[in-house]
Structure 1
Amino acid sequence: MGGIYPVPERILREKGALLFPEIEEGFSRYEHVVLERTEPEYRHMLEVMLQINGRTEAYCDFYYGRLSREEQRGFRQSLSEEQLTILMNIHVRKEEVYYPLTRPMIRFLSDITAREILFSTFYFTRFPCTVWGNYELRYPVFFKNKRTKFQYCDLL
C-alpha cells in the first residue's frame, strides 16, 4: 500500500520534537532566528535539513483534513496537477496532522506555505529544531539549544 500516512503526535514527542501551540512560546523558550528566504531558498534549506536529520527524524504538519469541505475545494483549485497527485497520496485524517517528511512533501508544502495557501511547520528530531512559516517570506526557526543551533549554522 502506497501513500503517506499520519504519525501520532506522541511519536514526535517521544523523539524530542519541539512542539508548541503558539509561536510566542517558541520565541520565549528556545534559541531562534528569523530567516528571509525565497521559496526556492526555503525549499533547499528544508531539503538540507532533511538530509542532515535523516528520513526517520523529520516530520511536517498538514492541516488540510481540518479544513471545511468548501475550504478543501478552494485549496485543491489552487494546486497544480503535480501537487494534486501528491495530495491524493496523503492519507488525510482530521484528528492527525503530522506526517513523515519526504522530498516530494517538501516541494509541495514549501510552495503552499510560501504562497500562503495553507501553512505547514517542519520538525526535525535528530538535531531538534522547528521551522515555522510563513510571515511574508520570513521563517522563524527554533532550536533546542545553542549547540543544536550550531549544527545548522551553515544554513542560516
Structure 2
Amino acid sequence: MMKALFSLLLFLAFASPAMAERFVSCHDGDTCTLESGLRVRFAGIDAPEIGQPFALEARDYLTQMVEGRESRLDCSGWSYKRRVCDVFVNGMDVQKELVGWGLAYDYEKYSGGRYQNAQAFAQKMGRGVWSFPDGGFRPWDYRRRK
C-alpha cells in the first residue's frame, strides 16, 4: 500500500509541467541529482564530459548555482533514466547562464537554437570552451569516440 501511494505521489509530482525541488549534487555540467534521488538532465545544452577541458569548471559552477537552492523545473521527457528539464533558480535560466559563460554548448538539436545568443556572446568574449579555436571538441563527438 505504501509503495503504491509513493508511486502515485511520484507520478503526480512529475506529471505536472513545473515543480520546485532542491538539488543535492551535480555529476557533471548538465546532470544533477534531486533530494528525491531523481537525476535531472538539463535540457537544450551539452557540457564538456569529465576528462574534457572545462568539464570540472562546468560541474563546479553548476553546483554553485543549484545545490541546496530551490529550483523550478519544467520537465519535458526522459533520457537514459534521467528527467529532462529546463531549470530556473530565482528566475535565472541555468542553462543560458552555463552557455553564456562558455561552460556548455547550445545543443541546437534539442534546444531549437534557444541559447544561440548566449553562445555567440561567450564565443565573442572567448569564455570557457570558446577560448579554444572553434570552441574545442564537442561533447557529443567526444562521447561518440568513446
Q: TM-score, normalised by structure 2?
A: 0.32
Structure number with the bigger relative contact order (C-alpha 8 A, sep ≥ 6) is 1
Larger strand fraction of residues: 2
Higher-Rg member (1/2): 2
Q: TM-score, normalised by structure 1?
A: 0.30
